[in-house]
Amino acid sequence: MRVLESIESGFPSHQAWDELVARDPRGHLLQTWAWGELKRAFGWIPVRLAVERDGVLLAGAQVLYRRLGPFSLGYIPKGPVVAREDSQQTDSLRALNALWKAIHSRSRRLRAISLKVEPEWYEEETSRVDRLVAQGLRPSKECIQPRRTIIVDLRPDEEQLLARMKSKWRYNIRLSVRKGVIVREGTTEDMATFYDLMRITSERNGFGIHSRDYYRRALELFAPSGRSILYMAYYQNLPLAGLIAYAFNGQSWYMYGASSNEHRELMPNHQLQWRAMQWAKSKGSTQYDLWGIPDTEADSATASLAGVQRFKEGFGGKVVRYVGAYDYVYSRPLYWMMRKAWNYGRMLPGIGAGTPSWT
């Protein structure tokens, strides 16, 4: 086995990297090459590390580094990934051990204060968590990605999907169509309109948003591979709402959404979500992630977050909870100072992926 780094010559192609991610049954969009390039455009340093044996990639991780003066912070969103074909657990463990050794080596060379890891593992997968702890990582209360979400099973046909929704949600989808709300696919030319809706949503619900260029790049970087879609909802040519969704590796995600304060009684968001689910099915996705609900009752205290949860629950999905964040500390004094000053999300706007309230 040997470890390859993307900043060195001879690293596999973009396609080979994404194929490795897709060979993990839960290989996530946030580990794809394009996601790393999106983050690079906004100040991050993406480093991909892969363990290879006889020309086959066995495991890997895309690590994002952010410079803080002479130091840096490391972050692995929804990784590492392990190829499903590696059926021998001993090989997987050897590959992961080699991968972690390389990650720590690179992090130290970049003078990382700490490394935050948020795997795509469910909280009941305790054996996987034990492996993280064995590598010296410790649980962190500071999650970047939502720890709890709702996932809709897309394997049933459309009639069954509608039947699993709350009756009011089915009614609202049909009402939106009946009242003349038109949903159509957008392009980067619609980004100014989408961003105006994002600003309205931000002001209404009290959370920060990314720049307009961020959303444009987040759409166009994945468009050539057919992995992203922008849907816009209009009523009499007035933009009411929009969303950006993604599909990869049999999964799909609703990541960014926005809506106007006008004609909310026409329920454009219900129709938008339904159209996004139909698109996801057409891309071969077997699940649709509504990307985040509050993790605790305290989180649900605000009306906006409680409303978000009620809205997402109506689509008939299953609530899942992930293992959360784990930190590896390279400099304890600096780590302590950093935690006292800011949490990761406030300190580094744009680290997350989903709706801005999670970043």
CATH topology of domain 149-319: Aminopeptidase (3.40.630)
Q: Are 33 and 51 in contact (CB under 8 A)?
A: no
How much is the pLDDT for 49? Answer: 98
- Give the Cα separation of 292 and 305 in Å (integer): 10
How much is the pLDDT for 357? Answer: 34
How much is the pLDDT for 247? Answer: 99
Scored b (16 or more CB within 10 A) or e, 72-94 reads: bbbbbbbbbbbbeebeeeebbeb
164-208 pLDDT, tens digit each = 999 999 999 999 999 999 999 999 999 999 999 999 999 998 889
CATH topology of domain 2-146+323-358: Aminopeptidase (3.40.630)
* Terminal-to-terminal C-alpha distance of the chain: 37
In the chain, count H helices and then E strands: 12, 15
Closest CA to 276 of 291, 292, 294: 291
On the CB side of 45, CA atoms within 13 Å amount to 17
Instruction: Tell me the three-class secondary structure of 47-114, residue by residue.
Output: EEEEEEECCEEEEEEEEEEEEECCEEEEEEECCCEECCCCCCHHHHHHHHHHHHHHHHHHHHHCCEEE
How much is the pLDDT for 299? Answer: 61
For residue 91, give Cα distances in angstroms to 52, 84, 132: 11, 12, 17
Which residues face 45 on adjacent strands? 65
Query: Could you tell me the sign of the dihedral formed by the alpha carbons of 225, 29, 42, 63, in that order?
Result: negative
250-262 pLDDT, tens digit each = 999 999 999 999 9
- Number of neighbours of residue 170 by Cβ within 10 angstroms: 19
3-state secondary structure of 131: helix
- Give the Cα separation of 65 and 87 in Å (integer): 31
* pTM for this prediction: 0.93
Look-up: residue for tokens 């969704």? 245
- The pair of structure tokens assigned to 334 is 């600096």
- The pair of structure tokens assigned to 110 is 């970049």
How much is the pLDDT for 349? Answer: 47
- Give the Cα separation of 105 and 92 in Å (integer): 20
**Residue ranges, CATH 3.40.630.30, the chain:** 2-146+323-358, 149-319
Q: What is the pLDDT along the chain (359 residues), one digit of tens a residue?
A: 999 999 877 899 999 999 999 999 999 999 999 999 999 999 999 999 999 999 999 999 999 999 999 999 999 999 999 997 555 567 888 999 999 999 999 999 999 999 999 999 999 999 999 999 999 999 999 999 999 999 999 999 999 999 999 999 999 999 999 999 999 999 999 999 999 999 999 999 888 999 999 999 999 999 999 999 999 999 999 999 999 999 999 999 999 999 999 999 999 999 999 999 999 999 999 999 999 999 975 565 566 778 899 999 999 999 999 999 999 999 999 999 888 776 554 545 444 444 433 33
- The pair of structure tokens assigned to 124 is 């009941």
- The pair of structure tokens assigned to 83 is 């190829």
Q: Write the CB contacts of 337 (distance below 8 Å, at least 6 apart in sequence).
A: none
How much is the pLDDT for 343? Answer: 54
Say which DSSP state 241 is in.
E
Q: Write the CB contacts of 285 (distance below 8 Å, at least 6 apart in sequence).
A: 154, 247, 250, 251, 252
